[in-house]
Chain A
Amino acid sequence: MQKRDTDYLNKEAAAIRQGIVEAIGVDKKGHLGGSMSSADIVAALYFYKMRHWPQEPENPARDRFIFSKGHSVLAQYAALARCGYFAWESLPTVKQLGSFLQGHPEKDRTPGIEANTGSLGQGLSLGLGMVLGGRLDSLDYKVYVIVGDAELAEGQIWEAATAAAFYKASNLVAIVDHNKLQASGVIKDMYDVGNPAEKFAAFGWRVLEIDGHNMDEILDALDAADEPNEQPLAIVAHTVKGKGVSFAEGVPSFHNGAMDQGQYDSALQEIAERRGE
């Protein structure tokens, strides 16, 4: 764990947002919206909460982070680059033929990526497997899994939620990026998945609800996962899709949209202001 310094962490979150924009580039489609909504949580994980060693990405004692909503991996790529897992300059190669940065995370290709995800619904199960493996090895690492709110429509999420409660997987932390939008529109209008907090509670999980862009609330929730308990923890983080880039905030088309040169420049400008540059 690293020092609790919300100013520093907010700046790292802004750096992650800059990396997301740079990774997408101009006139190319990229998953801007969901990457932006997760950015503050990802910053809190990599720069505050998780024990991890960029020079030893396979250290068995490391905490693990799985982006089950793998399309938002741009936020993770930016965080990994900031941590030194690979060069920041690689970010614009995302999705380029032969790049080690794929459109969805692949463990074999990218240092620091823990699992192959993005076919939605599978990350929580993968995380549970890692927790059970750690238990057999008497390792107390935690596994943090960010799932999307629309992803909660996948039945496998609830298979995993049942199994995690049954196995008392208290080292498993599910973080719901509850940005209220799905690829095709507003969740409430398109396919309402109900109340995530109530659902996880009904499946036997501890549940916290936070503002997923308030760094203090994020840190408090992540710290709460360390309290001795027999239940896995679900953190329902209320977020804004596209957060940090005004023209994309709450706009469904920026789930996987392209920015023109003007939008690209204005996005970087807005983020730079937030970083205090």
Chain B
Amino acid sequence: MTLTQQKACPRETYGRALLAAARQDQRVVALDADLSGSTMSCLVRQEFPERFFEMGIAEQNMVAVGAGLSLTGKIPFVHSFSMFVTGRAFEQVRQSVALPKANVKLVGSSYGFSDFGDGATHQSLEDAAIMRSIPNMTVLIPGDPKEVEAAVALALAIEGPVYIRISRSEMAFLPVSSTADSALAPVVVADGTDVAVVANGIMVERALQAKALLANEGVSLKVINVPSLKPLHGAALLELVQGCRGVVTAEEHTVMGGLGSAVLEVMAAQPLPLEMVGVQDCFGQSAWSHEELLQHYGLTSEAIAEKARLLARR
């Protein structure tokens, strides 16, 4: 297992994947709330201006207009920052999108701390929990640029509401990625025997770094990437963690209601202990870099390694 040094900006990958989808399928339309240059839905605006709808800084209307478009057979991709598309427009997502199973794809950009400079108002640490709690919603959190493409492909294949979480920061290409064909099922990125790290988003790369940290301590980590938070593919995940002494979850999100909670829900009847790496029920703040915030809030390879050590010693 080695991490390639190659990285890509996931929102650019996303924008190209969306454009490819728009070229392939006339039903694809894009809506944005004055952030198309950040979410990269601007690529659709440039090539298909009639299929791009600038909805102004009015996310609630945007989400419901998207639902209306879907009711005419269109496949709307509705964009804003993660916090706004899931938080500001929560009730429109629930009533107008999820309840009627509208074929709307919600794309939340700049999740977690990746909009580091703008501070707590723009950072999104609750969006996955919010979306996961809504019936009929699929929640996808790609672990690398290839999975960003797979998430767009899967979203198109699903006839119903999907939320895709896209980071603003560069992401490494993982040695193994999950695929749209598998519905982004959990995938072992690096095998190991002692402790399983179940991670999503940028935390998968950190889990691989934790594995390297522990290699000469005699603790073997199995790194499992879970790009589909909902459905979680719980049975498959349980099988993958069997044989390990414990599970560490790692997510760039509050530990309340996100990946850690979801994994705990399926492991409730298991004898395996679980530790969570994530944000501890607090808001973020501004910083000069994403990395500074990840360090400050304990979303590091060291933090994963420390939890894994605890479990390995039990």
Q: Report the tally of A-B residue pairs with Cβ distances under 8 A.
A: 103
Taken together as a complex, chains A and B put the C-alpha atoms of A60 and B74 apart, in Å, by 12
Q: Is A2 an interface residue (CB 8 A)?
A: no
Q: Tell me if A136 and B51 are in contact (CB < 8 A).
A: yes
B29 touches A136 (CB 8 A): yes
Interface contact A125-B61, CB-CB below 8 Å: yes
Residue B121 is within 8 A (CB to CB) of chain A in the complex: no
Residues of A within 8 A of B66 (CB): 129
Identify A106's interface contact among B58, B91, B100, CB under 8 A. B100
Give residues 84-116 of B contacting A (CB, 8 Å).
91-92, 95-96, 99-101
Interface contact A126-B96, CB-CB below 8 Å: yes
- Which of B50, B51, B60, B66 has most A Cβ within 10 Å? B60
Interface residue from B51, B63, B68 paired with A115 (Cβ < 8 Å): B68
Asked whether A132 is an interface residue with its Cβ less than 8 Å from the other chain, the reply is: yes
Please classify the interface of chain A as helix (H, G, I), strand (E, B), loop, or mixed, using the class held by over half of its residues.
helix
B67, A115: Cβ atoms under 8 Å? yes
A126 and B68 in contact (CB under 8 A), knowing A108-B101, A116-B96? yes
Q: Are A133 and B101 in contact (CB under 8 A)?
A: no
Q: Are A107 and B71 in contact (CB under 8 A)?
A: yes
User: In the complex, what distance in Å separates the CA atom of A118 from the CA atom of B100?
Assistant: 13
User: At the interface, yes or no: A177 with Cβ under 8 Å from chain B?
Assistant: no
A253 to B74 alpha-carbon distance, docked (Å) = 42
CB closest chain-B residue, reference A143: B68
* Interface flags, A126-140, vs B, CB<8A=1, else 0: 111111111011000
Complex Cα distance A159/B68, Å? 15
B214 sits at the interface (CB 8 A)? no
B residues near A163, Cβ cutoff 8 Å? 55-56, 58, 61, 65
Minimum distance in angstroms from A258 CB to a CB of chain B = 26
Contact A130 B69, beta carbon cutoff 8 Å: yes
Q: A60–B27 Cα gap in the complex (Å)? A: 14
Any A CB within 8 A of the CB of B73: yes
Does B4 have its Cβ within 8 Å of any Cβ on chain A? no
Nearest CB of chain B from residue A117's CB, rounded to whole Å: 8
User: For the complex, what is the distance from the CA of A155 to the CA of B88, rounded to whole Å?
Assistant: 12
**Contact, CB under 8 Å: A122 / B100:** no
Residues of A within 8 A of B64 (CB): 122, 125-126, 129, 156, 160
Known: A108-B100, A159-B60, A163-B58. A133 touches B95 (CB 8 A): no
How far is B67's CA from A117's CA once the two chains are assembled, in angstroms? 12
- Residues in A with CB closer than 8 Å to B76 are 129
B contact residues around A156 at 8 Å (CB): 58, 60-61, 64, 92
Q: Report if A114 contacts B (CB, 8 A).
A: yes
A249 to B67, CA, bound (A): 36
Q: Which 7 pairs of residues, A with B, have the shortest CB-CB distance? A: A129-B68, A133-B72, A125-B64, A159-B61, A159-B58, A129-B65, A126-B68
26 A-B pairs within 8 Å (CB atoms) are namely: A60-B73, A108-B100, A114-B71, A115-B71, A122-B60, A122-B96, A125-B61, A125-B68, A128-B61, A129-B68, A129-B70, A130-B68, A130-B71, A130-B72, A131-B68, A132-B68, A133-B73, A137-B73, A156-B60, A156-B92, A159-B60, A159-B61, A160-B61, A160-B64, A160-B65, A163-B61
Residues of A within 8 A of B (CB): 60, 106-108, 114-119, 121-122, 125-134, 136-137, 155-156, 159-160, 162-163, 166-167
